[in-house]
């Protein structure tokens, strides 16, 4: 086995190799994506009552793109509801509309259009996602692949660094100028999904949009301070408690944290305080894929993050789930020992051999 806990500073090597480079995105928006953005703009122009939602457990891309689109549509005089089954992390409450996100939708409420952002899968839209009769025109906006696309209108751009980039394109098509409030939302989407412009998805287009957002009034340091430099004490206390669970495989190519419910309760940690802790593992030299095990009432949620050379997709498929190349999660049933062993086996099989 390629597994060894950090006990005596010992590491064993094996023949794991690196994967392929992710490549670079084009500076230009693909023609098909431009056409799709114009169709979304035309559809939204005809609406008055709009629902905007993203995947449950909003990250920066969901929060930024949802709130940015909602704010722009409100500036155009439309009535907009932003929904997410789970509360937005406090980190995003300061954004325009961040404190007015709905967590329930009445069974009789109807919309002219429903816009899904960054969901990847309709199953992630939450239990109050309206049925077809009540949601109006269903607009699917995403930078993840899905086949077949589920919307009445689908705007999918796999080259977009974040969905916030796509929202900006829709607003250009609507000829709606970026206000400071909208720009701040889209900047949060862009900065979080590119890892503050460090990840492999960071493109010329991402930098160009960032410049446009700054021209619209965004202060980059203000964004950094509010999103990254204002961590809740619970997050730091939780990190302290889970450090003894730190695991690095013998090959050094994967590692993990384990978060017990007792530790979450001891420091008053919420789900938002767990989000991102896995990146401490991924940031370790030599680690290609990081995992974090989080106990909850449904089982043990396992989240994966990759540097991009080793895909998370086959790992999640082996475990019975779905995911993307660089990220994904699944809830597994069983004891801690069983789940950890199952995950490490899947990670081991995913590590390519050197040629």
Q: Can you give the CATH number for the domain in which 299 is found?
A: 3.10.310.30
Considering the domain architecture, whether residues 302 and 344 belong to the same structural domain is answered as: yes
Pair of tokens at residue 162: 């974040």
Contact 174, 44 (CB under 8 A): yes
d(CA 159, CA 164): 12
Considering the domain architecture, whether residues 174 and 220 belong to the same structural domain is answered as: yes
Considering the domain architecture, whether residues 123 and 249 belong to the same structural domain is answered as: no
Considering the domain architecture, whether residues 223 and 241 belong to the same structural domain is answered as: no
Contact 12, 126 (CB under 8 A): no
Token pair 């944290």 is found at 257
Considering the domain architecture, whether residues 204 and 239 belong to the same structural domain is answered as: no
Pair of tokens at residue 111: 């919309």
Considering the domain architecture, whether residues 172 and 240 belong to the same structural domain is answered as: no
Q: Name the residue range of residue 304's domain.
A: 232-350
d(CA 77, CA 308): 42
Spatial neighbors of 25 by CB under 8 A, at least 6 apart, are 159, 161, 201, 203, 204, 205
Last residue of a domain, one of 227, 243, 269: 227
pTM, 2 dp = 0.83
Considering the domain architecture, whether residues 186 and 248 belong to the same structural domain is answered as: no
DSSP three-state, residue 55: coil
Residues 309-312: contacts with CB under 8 Å, at least 24 apart? 309/18, 309/19, 309/20, 309/21, 310/18, 310/19, 310/253, 310/350, 310/351, 310/352, 311/19, 311/350
Domain count, the chain: 2
Considering the domain architecture, whether residues 269 and 344 belong to the same structural domain is answered as: yes
Whether residue 14 lies inside any domain: the answer is no
Considering the domain architecture, whether residues 221 and 237 belong to the same structural domain is answered as: no
How many alpha carbons lie under 13 Å from residue 237 in its C-beta half-sphere?
12
Consecutive sets of 10 residues in the chain, 355 residues long: mean pLDDT of each?
A: 38 29 65 97 98 94 98 98 94 96 95 96 93 97 92 96 97 98 98 91 94 98 93 94 96 96 96 91 96 96 93 93 84 96 96 72
Last residue of a domain, one of 174, 199, 227: 227
d(CA 317, CA 315): 5
Considering the domain architecture, whether residues 57 and 130 belong to the same structural domain is answered as: yes
Whether residue 5 lies inside any domain: the answer is no
Whether residue 8 lies inside any domain: the answer is no
Q: What's 79's domain CATH number? A: 3.90.1640.10
Pair of tokens at residue 54: 């993203």
Whether residue 61 lies inside any domain: the answer is yes
DSSP three-state, residue 20: coil
Last residue of a domain, one of 199, 227, 255: 227
DSSP three-state, residue 50: strand
- DSSP letter for 130, please: P
pLDDT at 327: 86
pLDDT at 355: 54
Whether residue 326 lies inside any domain: the answer is yes
Considering the domain architecture, whether residues 214 and 254 belong to the same structural domain is answered as: no
Q: What are phi and psi of 55, to 5 degrees?
A: -65, 150
Whether residue 22 lies inside any domain: the answer is no
pLDDT at 4: 37
pLDDT at 156: 96
Strand bridging mode 4-5 / 49-54: unpaired
Whether residue 20 lies inside any domain: the answer is no
pLDDT at 13: 28
Considering the domain architecture, whether residues 314 and 212 belong to the same structural domain is answered as: no
Helical H segments across the chain, by residue range: 31-45, 60-75, 132-135, 163-173, 180-193, 204-215, 220-227, 233-242, 261-267, 271-274, 279-282, 313-319, 336-350
d(CA 128, CA 134): 11
pLDDT at 8: 29
Whether residue 150 lies inside any domain: the answer is yes
d(CA 112, CA 155): 18
């Amino acid at each position: 086995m390629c597994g060894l806990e950090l006990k005596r500073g010992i590491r064993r090597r094996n023949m794991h190799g690196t994967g392929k480079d992710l490549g670079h995105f084009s500076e230009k928006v693909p023609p098909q994506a431009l056409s799709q953005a114009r169709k979304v703009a035309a559809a939204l122009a005809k609406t008055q009552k709009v629902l905007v939602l993203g995947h449950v457990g909003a990250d920066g891309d969901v929060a930024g793109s949802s709130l940015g689109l909602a704010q722009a549509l409100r500036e155009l005089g439309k009535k907009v509801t932003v929904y997410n089954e789970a509360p937005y992390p406090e980190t995003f409450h300061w954004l325009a509309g961040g404190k007015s996100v709905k967590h329930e939708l009445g069974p009789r409420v109807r919309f002219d259009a429903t816009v899904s952002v960054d969901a990847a899968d309709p199953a992630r839209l939450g239990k109050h996602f309206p049925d077809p009769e009540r949601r109006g025109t269903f607009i699917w906006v995403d930078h993840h692949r899905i086949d077949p696309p589920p919307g009445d209108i689908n705007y999918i751009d796999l080259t977009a660094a974040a969905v916030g980039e796509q929202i900006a394109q829709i607003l250009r098509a609507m000829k709606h100028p970026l206000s400071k409030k909208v720009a701040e939302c889209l900047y949060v989407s862009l900065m979080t999904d590119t890892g503050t412009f460090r990840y492999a998805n960071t493109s010329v287009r991402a930098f160009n949009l960032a410049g446009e957002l700054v021209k619209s009034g965004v202060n980059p340091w203000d964004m950094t301070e509010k999103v990254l430099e204002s961590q809740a004490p619970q997050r730091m206390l939780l990190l302290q408690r889970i450090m003894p669970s730190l695991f690095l495989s013998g090959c050094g190519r994967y590692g993990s944290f384990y978060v017990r419910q007792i530790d979450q309760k001891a420091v008053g940690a919420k789900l938002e305080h767990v989000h991102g802790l896995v990146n401490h593992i991924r940031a370790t030299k030599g680690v290609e894929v990081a995992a974090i095990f989080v106990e909850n009432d449904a089982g043990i949620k396992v989240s994966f993050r990759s540097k991009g050379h080793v895909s998370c997709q086959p790992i999640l498929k082996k475990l019975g789930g779905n995911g993307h190349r660089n990220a994904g999660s699944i809830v597994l049933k069983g004891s801690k020992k069983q789940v950890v062993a199952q995950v490490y086996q899947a990670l081991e099989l995913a590590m390519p051999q050197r040629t």
